[in-house]
Chain A
């Protein structure tokens, strides 16, 4: 009675649940996202309506503030997804994992599924932080937080999806680069420096801007539909939300597949 895929998912959930990392990262993420969203709501809300106010109309302000959940929060599910894989290599726990279930593809599928769900949980917590602080501050400044607007709820759904996909991309990265230190450096360097600079540089010419839409962060912004980056650069509309989602799916799937064919199938010794 091999437990197969469902057993793999249950096992991977238990792995996530039984060490401290998940809640440590959730707490840091919530604080970070809340600070950014609250700060932005305070600054823009406070300035809004004034003669020297910024170009962002009141109606766009709430989603912009809420989108900090993904625009600054996304690094946490990527990191978590990557660590979920690299820690198996680091602590040599692939040995018992593959002893309990020698079908390595099933194990990796179970891990990716689990991390998608955990990524969605990160999304929910990040949105609670950004909306919780952002909406109350906006309301305090007399701006409608648009919480009854269906568009806001569609945005929330897309944000949760984006965070889930980021976590899956983390899994792909981890299995592609099993060295824990290397994976952490890549996540931080790429999300915090490399991609923002690339997107900025790419916005100067038309064709490069076209290509840059397919960078993961840009695709994520397209999926979510609002971000401080697109608001500030006044960049072109970019991809449709579903196209952005597909681009993220492709990143996750390709990285995971290549990682499976290389590190995941290697000798465990």
Chain B
């Protein structure tokens, strides 16, 4: 069983002319879990991964697999399996031949292409020309390429994009199983919701810079600013809070107070002699924290 090595980004930077696509990215991706590499479109995910894979030359910094750059790996496909966003197929070639081309280049056994097709559920479609494949099938073929050498590290750029719900469930289980075997799994996405149920850890970038790094649960921040509160005399409660300088709005089941914490609101109501029937700090969803971190364009 191939085990994963950590992926280490260190000061990774890429500038295209005037455009700073990636700046000074430093983090480590550990084996044994699925790590989500998140950020809105244009954040620099693909560029970072292409630098990691030796396809794009960094302006400065390094990205390695346990200290070894991709281009210096002894047997790259057996160490790292990668699939990148762009469809990189000759449309006139069958899926099996597509995989055979790269298996031969990497010196993999003759059985590797069929084994990889099997793993992604494309066994019955190996002889079809890739040009006729649906987006979902192309995603699976991209994954088959990544699995060709049974690598200990998986690097997948937007692997869920284009999959149907069935496919999403399938890839989720597959990636989790691979991580459980001790492999390193790094997947990118521009939608948190897409990978939320798949990843353990998240790395969030925006405009090419790291904005958050930690366990998925760390995103569910509790330093949220809204309090939901209710009382029999809701109008008086609203007036008191407004006079105290809060911005309030009416909900069906109470009053929503912006930029507040529950303790303060409770005390204000107590001091004004208003019995409360409900008081709670609204927890911001993961998605909302994500959008806060990456700014407006994350909603795109």
Q: Which A residues have a C-beta under 8 Å from some C-beta of B?
A: 1-4, 7-8, 10-11, 14-15, 18-21, 87, 91-103, 107, 267-269
Contact = CB atoms under 8 A, between A and B. Distances in A.
Nearest to B81: A99
Given A95-B84, A102-B54, A11 B92 contact: no
Contacts, number: 101
Interface in B41-82: 46-47, 50, 53-57, 70-71, 73-77, 82
A2 B54 contact: no
Contacts of A96: 88, 101-102, 145
B71 A103 contact: yes
Interface in B78-113: 82, 84, 86-94, 97, 100-107
B93 A19 contact: yes
Contact of A87 (B84, B90, B102, B105): B90
Contacts of A91: 88-91
A260 to B, nearest CB: 15
A74 to B, nearest CB: 25
B47 A269 contact: yes
A207 to B, nearest CB: 46
Contacts of A7: 104-107
Given A14-B101, A267-B55, A19 B92 contact: yes
7 contacts: A2-B75, A7-B107, A15-B93, A18-B97, A91-B89, A96-B101, A102-B76
A95 to B, nearest CB: 4
A2 B74 contact: yes
A14 B84 contact: no
A267 B56 contact: yes
B104 A14 contact: yes
A4 B105 CA distance: 7
Contacts of A267: 50, 55-57
Nearest to A6: B107
B101 A18 contact: yes
Contact of B106 (A19, A21, A101, A268): A101
Nearest to B82: A99
A87 B88 CA distance: 11
Top 4 A-B pairs, shortest CB-CB distance: A3-B107, A11-B105, A18-B97, A102-B71
A98 to B, nearest CB: 6
B105 A101 contact: yes
B69 to A, nearest CB: 9
B53 A99 contact: yes
Interface in B101-150: 101-107, 145
Contact of B105 (A3, A95, A268): A3
Given A3-B105, A18-B97, A93-B90, 15 more contacts: A2-B76, A3-B104, A8-B105, A14-B100, A15-B90, A19-B90, A19-B92, A97-B105, A98-B55, A99-B145, A101-B105, A267-B57, A268-B55, A269-B47, A269-B50
Nearest to A267: B56
